[in-house]
Chain A
Amino acid sequence: MPPVPFTQGSLFGEADAIGYGSGQVYDEMVNGQGRLRPHWQTFMSSLGPLDSEQMAQRWEEARRLLHQNGVTYNIYGDPNGMERPWPLDMMPLLLPAHEWKAIESGLIQRASLLNAILTDIYGPQTLTRYGRLPPSVIHADPGFRRAVHGIRVPNDVHLHFYAVDLARAPDGRWWVLSDRTQAPSGSGYALENRAVIAKVLPDSFRHCQVERLSGFFDTFKETLFSIAPRTSAAGRLPRVVLLTPGPYNETYFEHVYLARYLGLTLVEGADLTVRDRTVYLKTLSGLEQVDVILRRLDADFADPLEMRADSSLGVAGLIEAVRAGTVVMANALGSGLMESMAMKSSLPTLCRHLLGEELRLPGVASWWCGNDAERAYVIDHLDGLVIKPAFPSLSFEPIFGAQLSAAERSALTERIKRRPWYFVAQEQMALSTAPVWQDGRLQPRPLVLRVFLCATPSGGYAVMPGGLTRVSSESGRLVVSMQSGGGSKDTWILAPRRADVAANQPRPSALAMEPTASGARPSANDLPSRVADGLYWLGRYAERAEGALRLLRATQSRLIDSNMPGATLQQRPLLDLLGSLGMIPAELARVTESGTSRGLRDALHAAVTDPDHPNSLRAQVLRLHRTAYSVRDRLSMDMWRVVSAIDRQTQQPKGRMDAASLLLRLDDAMIMLAAFSGLEQDSMTRGAGWRFLDIGRRIERSLHMVALMRGVHVADLDRQDEPMQAATLSVLLELGESVMTYRARHLTSVLRTPVLDLLLGEEANPRALAFQLAALDRHMRALPSQGVGTGTDPTGGALAIVAAARNSLERTDAMASSEALRTLLDTLAMTLPDVSNFLAHAYFSHAFARSA
């Protein structure tokens, strides 16, 4: 498609036609005369006329895709901040090939420089010894990790993954704002942005010849596998894991996403253990050695033995393993030091000294107050400067000197003089702007571009051809941050013109992610014990919620409609059950008149929605939600969405809710729980993880059935009159979801023996106890035979209990007499919980570390 001439009128409203891009700052799309920059022409013409309805449609599509892919981020300290939808603008940022080339070479140089500085500081420290760097730069910084000083890292590479925030000055040059060297975030979001925008703007994407991102991640993956300390001599592939602080971290979504994308096992600190100065992953089939750890955990939290003792996120002994050289950390522990702002003003000198080159990409002018001359300058020029913390671990908001009163100025000067090394000053920089689609038109918004680099297997660095562009929500904002409500953009690096490409490398898309030998998906025995534990409890809580819900729904429907056949009589066993299961107070369960009492209605309401009531439906759902969250990376997006929906449906209503709408809510939640169960069966691979989930469900359903039988005193049924017997049995059939089956077989009367047979003994009924026991037997025989930490057969004890229970059900006289039935139920109630205990002991005995 030939580029069509750009006409401004079709793009902007009248007001913007004059104002856009002609201000003091650089605009990415239009030049100072308000004309479209050349590298935007193809894009704008491919976009067609900017019809706001069509843009709104695309926007909807983008939102739908983001939602579908579950792209979220968390905001600290905000109760509603978990799982925020990811804000993405539809207009990508475009950068031409020649401009990108310059950025790329500047960034590769900078990565090499920072790595060389780390190598010196964590090694011979010649830079400080010979006065090229003030020693206080490292010693005043809480981010300097003394514990890892002197540890050699393979090939002297400390920095394997690195991100830089860039901004463009009014003169058009790119400047470095800050470096991210600890555990940089954002690359996964950049990938996700690309996936969405390429789908929403397919024509533009094709016409613009956009550089692909996947090649970069291929390289990174190769690097991760290449730094493993042991070669394939041991006859197995290196094991690379991604260490996350867990689901409450700001960018947990990205940890899950990258682990999947790179084919790494996602682990938390509790999944790892150090033995013999070697790191192991605790899996269902035992301990598996770990060779490389891609960490998203700050070094401070990595090892409670040698770093922060109060960290429960790390692994005790990890640093000793690194010291022994049995495991490699990426980035190396201590790499966060290069985020220090105090070092920035020394970089040009250090670059000359260490690399023999001039620093290609300038940093924003900064002065470190730990240096006498620089401090004097800062104090004299406060008006024009922004004061910031020198070290990332000190957090205070940037102070704009120009906005201070005389008193504030002198207070700040005092603060600086008392601890000068904690402060840097920077020139205030006017950010460039890019068009954002907002309120039905394009508007210029300030931007910061985050670019990512990775070490290559051959010892250099590669730059991701793209990046995460973040835009401020308001035009005048000086700070751009996702945490304070900004948005993001895809970043398109435009390939050189076709003629140039032909002679070049094969298109990066040819290197698209294929599962390669080195990057095989994590195998089944990679299932960390913690995850198996989480899935097991997920199954139990889902089933427990379902049991509570059926009971509440059965009761509620009879309270609303006393004309229901048998309603009045059936209330009796239902209230008994609610009482015996601790869902309503026992004294309310004993009321004899029909359930119109105010107290009972309130208690039932609380049993549904009260989060502080330990046995309420709401409390079960909260447990379900929390557990699902902890194993989120193992659930499909649909499963996660269902859990979120159940969570919403059982929240305490704003106002008072009448009985009928409560019942409707219960119906809706029931459908969602059924959907969850369906997804378990239909969308989960039959691996050990699924097995544990299903074991949890089967155990819970067994226990619940026994509790129901005992709760209605089924063994003493013959003491009731005949209508009451029928009412009780009908309730059991309903709660056991077996009414239809029963009616199909025994049209009329509800009788003890066939009901008990159907709910307890019948292996073909998926609600019957016998069915659960048969499933448990099958599952447990299929589990890995080697449990963690025990010498004995882990499932032996559990299998014996299940076998005994099945035997007792199969005996012909098991339910014949009241006495036999009572003994049977009592025995089951006593022995079945031990199945859970045996499994927990065998597979989940990974108590958390604590300090002594």
Chain B
Amino acid sequence: MTPPPSAPASGSSGLSTRYRLRHATAYDYGEDVPISHHLLHLTARPHPRQRIRRSLMTIDPVPAVRTERVDYFGNTVTYVAVQEPHRTFSVIAESEVEVFDPPALAPDDSAGWEHVRDSLRGLTGPDDGAEITQYCFDSALVASSPELLDYVRGSFTPGRPAVAAAISLMNRINHEFAFDPTATTVATPLAAVMRNRRGVCQDFAHIAVGCARAIGLPARYVSGYLRTLPPPGQPRLVGADVSHAWASVWCGASAGWLDICPTNACIANRDFITMAWGRDYDDVSPARGVLLGGAGHGLTVSVDVEPLED
């Protein structure tokens, strides 16, 4: 089940960190369930700055059916069906991943954002602009709105280089939205997050994605993990020890996709491990399931991101 290792892109800085990842998900259904179906995004997807060294998924009870495929966005998806009565269901995904730093940025030298937007129309041909432009449009959880457009105009001012504008957007969301795990759930609509200016990393990623789309730039929602141990002397990063999410904004052919983390106001570097990306959370939720019966369910998730010494 191990995907072929991918080489780091030639453009990376060459600095890297190796991690041992462990993501454990456990459901307790309260009573026996005769059958359950699951869709899992728990295997790291191919990524130009990542190399997957080892990947293993342990499922209990052992499922009758387990298949793996690559979805429309290039993510690795596992389908699982448990067909015997079971009261609990658990998945432990373990892997070893090496992540490389992105190349150094020159925010002010990148193409102006209007130019990036306008050149999207020319993107066709076998190398497929569609792979990029498909992230321009409304999706199930992120629809552009006049409010988002108003907000993003504060950063995407006329003529500003796309990279600089995206970093500005990231910093503003970081300053102007409060990190508050009690403010939202997965069902909170984007408009409410925008109104209350509170939420968690998933919400901020959605806001950033929605903002970019509102001014016509493609943007992806990225799901993954963040390194847990803070470097000495620096503050501990929010979002550690759980699944993390950030946004990736298209900044033109030369700058490419820029991964911005509004939660921590930083560009994703080798502390960020990418698992999957899509248009929004709905495309990449780590575990999604449908079961027959059951009395309710308790869910326990634990994530370990352990950097390895070389």
Contact = CB atoms under 8 A, between A and B. Distances in A.
A230 interface: no
B35 A273 contact: yes
B106 interface: no
B36 interface: yes
A147 interface: yes
B293 interface: yes
Contacts of B128: 128-129, 135
A373 B144 CA distance: 24
A130 B290 contact: no
B124 A130 contact: yes
B126 interface: yes
Nearest to B128: A129
Contacts of A317: 37, 79, 81, 290
Interface string B33-45: 0111111000000
A849 interface: yes
Interface string B126-157: 10111001101110000010000100000000
A276 to B, nearest CB: 6
A135 B134 contact: yes
B1 interface: no
21 contacts: A128-B124, A129-B125, A129-B126, A130-B124, A135-B130, A139-B137, A140-B138, A150-B72, A274-B81, A276-B83, A304-B290, A305-B39, A305-B288, A419-B138, A789-B34, A847-B292, A850-B294, A851-B288, A851-B290, A852-B29, A852-B294
A139 B130 contact: yes
3 tightest A-B contacts by CB? Answer: A135-B130, A316-B290, A146-B72
Interface in A400-423: 418-419, 421
Contact of B124 (A135, A418, A419): A135
B71 interface: yes
Contacts of B104: none
B291 interface: yes
A207 interface: no
A128 B130 contact: yes
Interface string B62-78: 00110101011100000
Given A130-B126, A276-B83, A852-B290, 15 more contacts: A136-B136, A139-B133, A149-B72, A273-B292, A275-B35, A276-B64, A277-B67, A305-B290, A317-B79, A320-B67, A372-B121, A852-B29, A852-B36, A852-B289, A852-B299
A276 B81 CA distance: 8
Interface in B1-59: 27, 29, 34-39
Interface in B95-130: 121, 124-126, 128-130
A309 interface: yes
Contacts of A418: 144, 149
B72 A136 contact: no
A125 interface: yes
A765 to B, nearest CB: 42
A131 interface: yes
Contacts of A847: 292-293
B283 to A, nearest CB: 8
Interface string A296-330: 00000000111001000000110010010000000
A628 B163 CA distance: 63
A274 B37 contact: yes
A453 to B, nearest CB: 29
Contacts of B73: 146
Contacts of B291: 849-850, 852
A140 B213 CA distance: 12
Contacts of B81: 274-277, 317, 320
B48 to A, nearest CB: 21
B175 interface: no
Interface in A457-473: none
B236 interface: no
Nearest to A421: B137
Nearest to A126: B126
A216 to B, nearest CB: 36
A304 B73 CA distance: 20
Interface residues of B, number: 41
Interface in A802-852: 846-852
Contacts of A277: 65, 67, 81
B137 A305 contact: no
A346 to B, nearest CB: 14
A361 B67 CA distance: 45
Contact of A130 (B35, B39, B125, B289): B125
A306 B285 CA distance: 11
Nearest to B146: A418
Nearest to A324: B67
Given A129-B124, A317-B81, A419-B144, A306 B65 contact: no
Interface string A260-288: 00000000000001111100000000000
B181 to A, nearest CB: 21
B137 A140 contact: yes
Nearest to B29: A852
A126 B227 CA distance: 41
Nearest to B293: A847
A852 B297 contact: yes
A846 B293 CA distance: 8
Nearest to B137: A140
A142 B134 CA distance: 12
Interface string A128-171: 11110001100110100011011000000000000000000000
Interface centre among A128, A142, A789, A848 (most CB of B within 10 A): A128
Nearest to A311: B290
Given A316-B290, A421-B137, A275 B130 contact: no
A316 B37 contact: yes
A370 to B, nearest CB: 10
Nearest to B290: A316
Contacts of A789: 34
B290 A135 contact: no
Contacts of B289: 305, 851-852
A852 B79 contact: no
Nearest to B134: A139
Given A130-B124, A317-B37, A421-B137, A850 B290 contact: yes
B218 to A, nearest CB: 10
A74 B29 CA distance: 38
Nearest to A303: B290
Contacts of B125: 129-131
Given A130-B125, A317-B37, A419-B144, A136 B133 contact: yes
A135 B129 contact: yes
Interface in A80-139: 125, 128-131, 135-136, 139
Contact of A136 (B35, B67, B137, B144): B137
Contacts of B130: 125, 128-129, 135, 139
A150 B73 CA distance: 12
Contacts of B293: 847
B83 to A, nearest CB: 5
Contacts of A846: 292
Interface in A784-798: 789
A256 B128 CA distance: 46
Contacts of A140: 136-138
Contacts of A852: 27, 29, 36, 289-291, 294, 297, 299
Contacts of B39: 305-306
Interface centre among A136, A317, A421, A852 (most CB of B within 10 A): A852
Contacts of B79: 317, 320
A190 B72 CA distance: 40
A436 B130 CA distance: 50
Contacts of B149: 418
A847 B292 CA distance: 6
A334 to B, nearest CB: 12
A847 B36 CA distance: 12
Interface in A328-378: 372
A142 B37 CA distance: 25
Nearest to B133: A135
A277 B36 CA distance: 12
